[in-house]
Amino acid sequence: MKNPQNLTDKLHAQGYVAHPDLAMALHLALTLGRPLLLEGAAGVGKTEIARALAAMLGTELLRLQCYEGLDAAQAIYEWNYQRQLLSIRAAVEDGESARQAESRIFSEDYLLERPLLAAIRRERPPVLLIDEIDRADEEFEAYLLEVLSDFQITIPELGTITATSRPHVILTANGTRDLSDALRRRCLYAYVDYPDRDTELAILTTRCPEIEAALGRQIVGFVQALRAEDLEKKPGIAEMLDFAAALGGLGVNDLGADPAALAAALATLLKTQSDRAAIPPEVAARLAGRAA
Amino acid sequence: MTRDLTLKRPSRATRFAARDPGPAARLAGFMAHLRGAGFHLGVAETGLAMDALTTLDDMAPETVCRALKAVCASDADQFARFDDMFNAFWLNNGRVRARLAQSRSTGTDRQRAGRTGDGMATGTGKAHAPDDGHDSGESESGGTGRLMATGVANLMRRDLRELVSPDDIRHAETLAARLGAAIRDRRSRRRRAARRGRGVDLRRTLRSALSTGGEPLHLHRRTRPDRPVKLVVLCDVSGSMLAYTRPYLAFITGLTRADPTADAYLFHTGLVRITTALHDDDPLRMLNRLSLLAEGVGGGSRIGANLDLFARSYARRFVNGRSVVVIFSDGYDSASPDQLGPALAQLKKRGCRIIWLNPLKGWRDYAPIAGGMAAALPHLDLFAPATTLADLARLEPELARL
């Protein structure tokens, strides 16, 4: 896998159409072993790329969803205290010595792996997706940096665990909070934008091959026109695919022909009250007419 | 590392083959070029860039550009600017210096504005040498305290250096730090685990008691964490505001120096983000950059259109529920005020609080009947007078209560 074009083709086989910028960043992340930071609006396929990459490499996808208050016990490891207590009870009844019991209950069997620990202990390097890193607290970000630079985790009772394989790390963010410079510098970077018309059409034909070519062009034209409108929440790629599926379900073959079905299917694209109000059925019909 | 980085089209670096210092040096030169444009790059990144290039099969300019972009860019803004930077350095046949100088002065802010939306950068015009800013000439906007809104962008540039002196800024800095703290110091209602705190975190204590056989040996505590509020300041620098521009600009400058997370914008007929310019370490150079950005100061103002533009573009990235948006304006809109109410309503939807400081409100018998002001009132959390730095200082208790 020496060049990005090769990577683009392989991703395409997994149903992911990657922009050349993104393919290059991904190629470098894989060959240089660096984490890759992806930013972009919601619904442009940031999370999906990790899934496609894992499928392409034939490896596991480990996902760590970040949220405010995420701590080491949720992200790295925790001891299974209930099992340890039960085991101690049993040991007392069996007359096992304290030393034996202790070495047993602080063994791997009683360790609960969380995504970060799991990622560095796999035989095959997995894809580690750290989703929405900007939702986690800054302290966690600092801790994450440490793990990502050494790929080793110290558990006081067990000792230091070094990585058996270095996971392919993908971080995503969509601007809830500014990330630290340290994190940005450690990562390769790609900004994922809404796809252009041709790319989006390629995505649609890859994911929904049953959609006819003419309708596909209409759908993409319509969604692109909608993104140019002044909306609170612009429809992403996932919404576009839902829209296509909805039209398929409604048996629509031509966007311009059936305004009622179009208005019904709009529910998959416009998801706030004011956006619905901003695009009344007549406007939708006009946009659809222009897209045809 | 031995791979040749020569690009296909003639470039500055390869015109004199005998003087070519080698690929590493040329790449280092490019890194310096990026650093000059505000990229944060160290020696490690240069090394990484070399490594990245050795993994490539072909050396087509666009491939190299993409690879270097993945390595060097570290946020959305840099990512968008990178292609231009790359072309200027490698493919522009020696036009590098001019390009570099330009991007130092205004390029960053203008391109950022240009990418986020059209019309935002209209007021900035083309880049001038920093020294030719004194030609006020027969200014059409010389009058102070003029209450008439003009519809034309002021083409005679009024130099902000005349308006703001470094002394003012120093004075404003202390004030802004205090006011900023009054607004920013917010405690969350929620509680979070902490090393020291008032309450005992029962859940955590019980959880860790499990590891000590049910005896709560470690008391975990929790506290109400600080939730710093981010300040976003929008300042009207149109003709009618000219008399008040001086204290306001000094205040904004002081504020961004005291609080690095603060965000600042100027608007008149266009809207410009001045945060990056204000972060310049050198106060004089900062004022130069600001003057270039604020071209059109003293012209008309389109408050509604600008706030609408702000709510739809920058606000999406920079304003959230923990922001306080401060607007300095007299509410005299040279365009129709219809847009103002909806724009503020949309801004408000992002969960921020909005403070409007109006210099005219201090006047006796003032009633907010200027079309714009009346439309804005229902959306404001605080509407207060402010004409001088001293007035601003008096606002401290009200801001703290907000």
- Tell me the ipTM for this assembly: 0.82
Weakest mean pLDDT among A122-131, A135-144, A174-183, B162-171: B162-171
Nearest to B211 among A79, A190, A191 (CB): A79
Nearest to B67 among A28, A71, A85 (CB): A28
Judged by CB atoms closer than 8 Å, whether chains meet at B214 and A34 is answered as no
- In angstroms, rounded to a whole number, what is the distance separating the alpha carbons of residues A183 and A175? 14
Residue reference for tokens 């996971």: A167
Write the DSSP symbol of residue B187.
Answer: B
What H or E segment, with its residue span, contains residue B52?
Answer: helix B43-54
Strand partners, A189: A37
Both structure tokens of A48: 């999906």
Size of interface A-B (CB pairs under 8 A): 77
Q: Which residue from A minimizes the CA distance to B319?
A: A176
> Which among B395, B385, B398 has a CA at the least distance from the CA of B176?
B395
Residues 6 or more apart whose Cβ sits within 8 Å of residue A62: A115, A118, A119, A126, A127, A128, A129, A167
Q: Yes or no: say if A148 and A188 are a contact pair by the CB < 8 Å rule.
A: no
Nearest to B71 among A28, A40, A84 (CB): A28
Our CA dihedral for A158, A160, A164, A170, rounded to 10 degrees, sits at: 110
Percent of chain A scoring above 90 in pLDDT: 21
Average pLDDT taken over every residue of chain B = 71
Q: Which residue from A minimizes the CA distance to B50?
A: A32
Percent of chain A scoring above 70 in pLDDT: 98
Residues 6 or more apart whose Cβ sits within 8 Å of residue A124: A59, A60, A165
Residue A176 near chain B (CB below 8 Å): yes
Q: Which residue from A minimizes the CA distance to B194?
A: A69
Weakest mean pLDDT among A7-16, B84-93, B152-161, B243-252: B152-161
pTM > 0.95: yes or no: no
- In angstroms, rounded to a whole number, what is the distance separating the alpha carbons of residues B356 and B398? 13
Weakest mean pLDDT among A57-61, A70-74, B3-7, B81-85: B3-7
B365: confidence class by pLDDT, cuts 50, 70, 90: low
Q: What is the pLDDT of residue B261?
A: 80
What H or E segment, with its residue span, contains residue A94?
Answer: helix A81-94
**Domains along chain B with CATH numbers:** 12-94 (no CATH), 160-182+227-401 (3.40.50.410), 189-223 (no CATH)
Q: Yes or no: say if B337 and B372 are a contact pair by the CB < 8 Å rule.
A: yes
- In angstroms, rounded to a whole number, what is the distance separating the alpha carbons of residues A31 and A25? 10
The shortest C-alpha distance from B78 to chain A (Å) reads 10
A171: confidence class by pLDDT, cuts 50, 70, 90: very high
Task: Give the phi and the psi of residue A269 in degrees, each rounded to 5.
Answer: -105, -40
Residue reference for tokens 């410009």: B272
B49-66 tens-digit pLDDT: 988 888 888 888 888 899
- In angstroms, rounded to a whole number, what is the distance separating the alpha carbons of residues B154 and B141? 8
B368: confidence class by pLDDT, cuts 50, 70, 90: low
pLDDT for residue B279 is more than 70: yes
Residue A228 near chain B (CB below 8 Å): no
- In angstroms, rounded to a whole number, what is the distance separating the alpha carbons of residues A161 and B140? 73
pLDDT for residue A24 is more than 80: yes
Both structure tokens of A110: 């009683």
Q: B376 to each of A267, B120, B341, B382, B401, how far by Cα in Å?
A: 32, 22, 5, 11, 21
Judged by CB atoms closer than 8 Å, whether chains meet at B69 and A24 is answered as yes
Q: What is the pLDDT of residue B3?
A: 47
> Which among B114, B109, B89 has a CA at the least distance from the CA of B99?
B89
- In angstroms, rounded to a whole number, what is the distance separating the alpha carbons of residues B237 and B244? 9
Give the distance from CA B258 to its chain's centroid. Answer: 14
Higher pLDDT: A138 or A267? It is A267
Q: Yes or no: say if B232 and B324 are a contact pair by the CB < 8 Å rule.
A: yes
B231 residue type, one letter: L
Our CA dihedral for B48, B50, B52, B56, rounded to 10 degrees, sits at: -170
B117-161 tens-digit pLDDT: 333 333 333 334 334 334 333 333 333 433 444 444 443 344 455
